Structure 1
């Protein structure tokens, strides 16, 4: 036992020199995991909070966040302010949303078993969109998400992949929306089992069973109901109830806002259970005819929720981000998890900050303060920017985003939902560590190709601060 412990400590303390792109060298400890510089201490929020000079200083106050959110919906074309959509939709608008989401596949795709998906099946999936049935004009219809709902490129549950053996990144998976999210219902699939919906930050297909259709007033009023609870845990679940299956063990992800019911007698059971040790919330449910109704549900008082959005402070940023540490990477919120852009947006959403869904939109949004980099930006300019990263800054490279934890040991560190980490060792070899989870890593050593680092591919740094 003593020999094993000694060997582990020796490996943790071993300092391995790294050769960065452009000849820069640095050293970091190499723990048994292979993730440079990250020991047990660095995988705790307390470590990073301890590096903050003012961990409880407010970075953006509520009025500043509200102003930024308003600017986001006003200026960012990837966002949809449902209240301002017209009462009537044209065929041009609806077809534009559907065809703008995804083109019919033309390259080979593979199923979960690595077998090619027949071209005829792909054609049938594209045809299921029923574009020929889009009316010249239609009344705008509204609905609400009633359970964690996958949003898809096409009206199908078929999972498809670019390469045989690659069963993680489903090319038809776009994102997910959470219970209580308002949507515009724009179109139905040919068989009626799928709806094309427009949420505040996405437009895609989802199964009709995920959506309850209601009046414009009822749908849009839900988001303004008060008092409310904010889900501050990675996810919480409503209490099991045999009496009301539609609101039993409903998953609510970080940042979800749910109204609290205050007009029910406190000494009377709710869904077969006393409510005194729980918050009585209101959730949308789908009736048998597909219409919207609302039902009381319970969240235990010891669940990770708050009476309002958390203050945007260094302590809360770190604490919220680390609640996802170790969660498996889920492209488009698959695997009941999230991907890199979903991770950072859910963290910020728990503090009331709204963000676009995808990295490309987040990194270039006109509503955010940022430093952008052109393809020709010099390595030294990028390096200086990386060395100036502060906690909470968002670092974008094509297809990926990282949340900065600030500076330690003279270089920047990040927490991100990432597939893997590659770096170059002292002998010039390249080592790859498969992560596939929310992970803490140093930024500078991470390779994006054979001869370039992540920072050489930075497209922007977004700063959620004044």
Structure 2
């Protein structure tokens, strides 16, 4: 017995020694490095939100309360023309008004465009697209309809799935792609394409063509009673999915992107099981579907309780803004929402939607038209003057230059940093300028270069302004 005890003691000592040695080795080991980053000034520690949260003061202090955010959104509707209040949208349009709206939006490009086969399209091609606008069949007076998006889909310049590019070799930027739309997005429908497969629709910050198969039609009262449900969850992860449902493919593993606001089923609506699955460990959400008449109906789906979602909006804090931004780090850039991703402005938009803040869709609208405190940077402003403005900023502000939106992260060791969704940048070494493609969400300093005519300037020099999404200091 003593011999056995001795063996047990020796064995336990060996196990403990190996465990502690293993822990010490892993703790002190050099972090795994697969490649050398070619983004200048960015270290490994900067790739994590905690670094930037620690680098700022009062990270968890509330920037604005829910009532202040509601006031901000109301102000945005009043002063920013691209943002509309769908509940107060016009009930009808004359033929002349609709023709003007559609023709002002769906215009053939004056620049060369190429299809997916690399062939240049011409007048005959655009004539077919214009025919499908269905302008001749509009009534003298046209009542609007109300709808809601059933799944992630696209809004496009013309009612077509065709892809057009600026060059035969391009595949990153479809020039007919306007924006991605997520499930549970309400809209007003103004007209229908000639082939019946598209709606010309207005969502709160965009007007374009959307596939009719991805929309359920309903009446105004039903739509907004549902949309304005007081009990809801918000998707706070890059994306989450509903649980698999073998009987309802339309709501099975449905993709829900960051910022999607989904009404919760009421206590009375939650029963023992949903399509044979016990709801324990899940949230029961109420999703829009289509009934046999093609109109809006509702069904129930489950989202795992520990998925990256929030009951109600996230508090509007610097820590939450930074955390939300870094959930997209490394995601492929998607012009208008191509490649199941997002572009620079929808990157900003989706982050802020998790806190209940509604921003315009495009970069010029966010930078120049949105409500909030704006710091202008004129072309004649020096680097030192620009730095003084940034020194007054907190992380989370929007940085804007022509055609691009970025999220400010802060200053570290005399360098200013941002996280953004972008195509690439230039670097200069010993007089040689090289281009580095990105097509991704990444952390970079503002000292990286971009082309400007026949020269190269830093992003810092290219900024025309900075916007804080609050009504006052």
1:396 counterpart = 2:397: no
Q: Secondary structure at the match of 1:448?
A: strand
Residues 100-179 of structure 1 mapped to structure 2, 5 A cutoff: 100-179=104-183
Q: Secondary structure at the match of 2:190?
A: strand
1:219 to 212, 223, 227: 223
Following TM superposition, by how much is the alpha carbon of 1:386 offset from its aligned partner in structure 2, in angstroms?
A: 4.0
Give the direction of change, closer, same or farther, for the CA distance of 1:409–1:291 in structure 2 (3 Å limit). same
Following TM superposition, by how much is the alpha carbon of 1:375 offset from its aligned partner in structure 2, in angstroms?
A: 4.2
Residues 162-241 of structure 1 mapped to structure 2, 5 A cutoff: 162-241=166-245
Give the direction of change, closer, same or farther, for the CA distance of 1:383–1:95 in structure 2 (3 Å limit). farther
2:332 to 328, 337, 340: 328
The 8 Å contact of residues 371 and 469 in structure 2, kept in 1 or not, is answered as: no
* Alpha-carbon displacement from aligned partner over 1:386-431 (angstroms, at most 9, x marks no partner): 4544301111111100000011111210000010121222x11112
The 8 Å contact of residues 75 and 367 in structure 1, kept in 2 or not, is answered as: yes
Following TM superposition, by how much is the alpha carbon of 1:33 offset from its aligned partner in structure 2, in angstroms?
A: 1.8
**Greater CA drift, 322-331 or 449-458:** 449-458
Q: Secondary structure at the match of 1:335?
A: helix
Query: Hey, what's the Cα distance between the residues in 1 that align with 2:397 and 2:342?
Result: 19
Q: Secondary structure at the match of 1:407?
A: strand
Query: Hey, what's the Cα distance between the residues in 2 that align with 1:244 and 1:366?
Result: 40
* Alpha-carbon displacement from aligned partner over 1:428-456 (angstroms, at most 9, x marks no partner): 11122211010000012333332322233
Query: Hey, what's the Cα distance between the residues in 2 that align with 1:406 and 1:141?
Result: 46
Query: Hey, what's the Cα distance between the residues in 1 that align with 2:466 and 2:110?
Result: 35
Q: Secondary structure at the match of 2:340?
A: coil
Residues 382-421 of structure 1 mapped to structure 2, 5 A cutoff: 382-421=386-425
Query: Hey, what's the Cα distance between the residues in 1 that align with 2:387 and 2:166?
Result: 34
Give the direction of change, closer, same or farther, for the CA distance of 1:463–1:359 in structure 2 (3 Å limit). same
**Greater CA drift, 261-270 or 73-82:** 261-270
Q: Over aligned residues, Cα RMSD in angstroms? A: 1.8
The 8 Å contact of residues 270 and 284 in structure 2, kept in 1 or not, is answered as: no
Following TM superposition, by how much is the alpha carbon of 1:372 offset from its aligned partner in structure 2, in angstroms?
A: 2.3
1:373 counterpart = 2:380: no
The 8 Å contact of residues 169 and 331 in structure 1, kept in 2 or not, is answered as: yes
Corresponding residue number in structure 1 for 2:440: 437
Corresponding residue number in structure 2 for 1:300: 304
* Alpha-carbon displacement from aligned partner over 1:317-368 (angstroms, at most 9, x marks no partner): 1110000001100000111110000001100111111100000111112522
Corresponding residue number in structure 2 for 1:338: 342
Query: Hey, what's the Cα distance between the residues in 2 that align with 1:393 and 1:124?
Result: 44
Following TM superposition, by how much is the alpha carbon of 1:300 offset from its aligned partner in structure 2, in angstroms?
A: 0.9
Corresponding residue number in structure 2 for 1:460: 465
Which runs of 5 or more residues in structure 1 are unaligned? Answer: 1-8, 13-30
Corresponding residue number in structure 2 for 1:243: 247
Corresponding residue number in structure 1 for 2:353: 349
Residues 81-92 of structure 1 mapped to structure 2, 5 A cutoff: 81-92=85-96
Task: Give the number of the structure whose residues are more often helix, by fraction.
Answer: 2
Number of equivalent positions: 437
**Greater CA drift, 168-177 or 287-296:** 287-296
The 8 Å contact of residues 419 and 443 in structure 2, kept in 1 or not, is answered as: yes
Larger Cα-atom Rg = 2
Query: Hey, what's the Cα distance between the residues in 2 that align with 1:212 and 1:204?
Result: 17
* Alpha-carbon displacement from aligned partner over 1:136-168 (angstroms, at most 9, x marks no partner): 212221111111120000000011101121111
Q: Secondary structure at the match of 2:331?
A: coil
